[in-house]
Chain A
Amino acid sequence: MATIFDRELGKLKEKVLIMGTMVETAIRDAVASLVERNSELARKVIEKDYKINALDVEIDEECIRLLALRQPRAGDLRFITTAMKITTDLERMGDLAEDIAERAIELNEEPMLKPYIDIPRMAEISQGMLIDALDALIKGDTNLATDVIKRDDEVDKLNLQVFNELLFFMIQDPTNVSRATRITYISKYLERIADHATNIAEMVIYLVEGKIVRHITIE
């Protein structure tokens, strides 16, 4: 029979996943607002960010309450501390989605500098990393978590590629600088989103194995 504490932990897990889904949607919509030049969608992303922030605070308060009242140990302790850290990463990802939406609105007001090819590719990988990191969290799947961590390199490479390409545009014609800089920002935001997904995956490994794998290269 599930104890009261088990039910509380179940609810906490549910909230983390709801927050994860909200962040996923925010990232997807922010990138779509850029690619499809839909500023209305971008504004919706910005408006909705407060919901992610509110959930961040709510989860934090719940974790603190459980730490104080239930004095969790072992796996329970690791789950609650992991939840606290994961929501910090999710909240930052939400902010980055908001940043992408802001840059999209600015870019949508001017003619397109070039068709977006690498940016949607980066977005796809980063989002995939987030989805799989959350999936690994639900299933306690460390193989999937390890796979997420490995994919971070691809996003880093694409970010560098985008930067070099845009640098070339800026050198060619100074009137490109304002748009190219904004696109560079977006590329960097997506690269950061992948980093946060990596953090979540690392926390999943801690949750399951009790082993801290941050700042260690995974083979």
Chain B
Amino acid sequence: MSVIISGELKAEVKNLNFYYGDVHALRDINLPIERRKVSALIGPSGCGKTTFLRCFNRMHDLYPHNRYEGKIILHPDNINIILPEIDPIEIRMQISMVFQKPNPFPKSIYENVAYGLRVRGINKRQLLDEKVEKSLRGAALWDEVKDRLHNLAFDLSGGQQQRLCIARALATDPRILLFDEPTSALDPTATSKIEELIVELKNEVTIIIVTHNMQQAARVSDYTAFMYLGEIIEFDKTDKIFTAPSNRLTEEYITGRFG
């Protein structure tokens, strides 16, 4: 599969299996993730794409009986991030997640963005100010909120709240940004802002996005993986997947004739 990718790899998934107790949710996943590109995961509900995305920042560790097998290698350090001895908190600083619904903390705009830094023990005002501004600018939100940084985050619109969550994720200088259907709760204007932002952000950070909206995958991603029943059925450059996929299941899914 790595023949498809010409550039430098940021991560590599090797023979990943995942179990929710007895349920074998991910089966022998192999996937290269190119640095500073957008990789999209698509597939019908229940195919395992969110489960897969959550492996990248060890979200499954929160529940007992969940079990990982195989490797998710993070480059260039060459560490397997799903090993139990690797601290999930540290992983989540480096691999941040933006969720389906905007979920700001019940704090000010400023404190939402500063939160991850404070967890890391950074409390110097000047440094926090710089980071907060840089992250809000990175999330294309600065101009809209710079005069009311200490207002409650809930005062923002849905689209602004989602960009705030992106700013919060950016504050810890992550290497990979995970998006789990980041626009499914947003209107078309807010959606297109987030999509523009994703394309913009890949100059700085590697992105993996789960989306139900196939046109969104087509618009924002460089690579697309089609998943079904816990497996990756096809992985290729996005333009290839959307013009001439190789697998019949992929074709049926993306043309809306699945099942």
Contacts and interface: CB of A to CB of B under 8 A. Distances in A.
A7 interface: no
A74 B256 contact: no
Interface in B209-246: 214-215, 218, 241-245
A62 interface: no
B254 A5 contact: no
B244 A74 contact: yes
Contact of A210 (B214, B244, B250, B255): B244
A28 B215 CA distance: 45
A90 B218 CA distance: 32
A217 interface: no
Tell me what chain B mostly uses at the interface: helix, strand, loop, or mixed.
Answer: helix
B28 interface: no
Interface string A183-215: 000000000000000000000000001110000
B214 A73 contact: yes
Contacts, number: 32
Q: How large is the interface on B (under 10, 10 to 19, 20 to 34, 35 or more residues)?
A: 10 to 19
Interface residues of A, number: 14
A73 B30 CA distance: 25
A73 B241 CA distance: 9
24 contacts: A3-B256, A3-B257, A5-B256, A6-B257, A71-B215, A72-B255, A73-B214, A73-B218, A73-B242, A73-B254, A73-B255, A74-B241, A74-B244, A74-B245, A74-B250, A74-B251, A74-B254, A77-B242, A77-B243, A78-B243, A78-B244, A209-B244, A210-B244, A211-B244
Interface of B: 214-215, 218, 241-245, 250-251, 254-257
Given A74-B255, A78-B243, 12 more contacts: A72-B255, A73-B218, A73-B243, A74-B241, A74-B242, A74-B243, A74-B244, A76-B255, A77-B243, A210-B243, A210-B244, A211-B244
